[in-house]
Amino acid sequence: MDQPATREREVRALVDAMDALGITAGWIQTDTGLDEITEGRFTIQICSLAEWLLEMDSLSTKTQ
């Protein structure tokens, strides 16, 4: 999400979806980066897909 137009489009789409679903937090996975965005009442975590997948893998191995 290095391009401002891409970032704006992705954030706007996620905010619209969160509003429709009645939730206030969401994630955007990217190839790099870690950030948190607050748009009104919505909080969006931006994180690396690779890091997120590794975290999910470590959580799944702990429950097995």
* Numbers of helices and strands, H then E, in the chain: 2, 3
55 has pLDDT over 80? yes
Total count of domains within the chain:
1
Confidence of residue 1 (pLDDT cuts 50, 70, 90): low
Chain position carrying tokens 């401002």:
4
Could you tell me the residue range of the domain that residue 51 belongs to?
Answer: 4-62
Predicted pLDDT of residue 63:
63
Task: Note whether 46 and 28 are within 8 A (CB).
Answer: yes
Q: pLDDT tens digits for 17-41?
A: 999 999 999 999 998 878 899 999 9
% residues pLDDT > 90 (the chain): 53
Predicted pLDDT of residue 22:
97
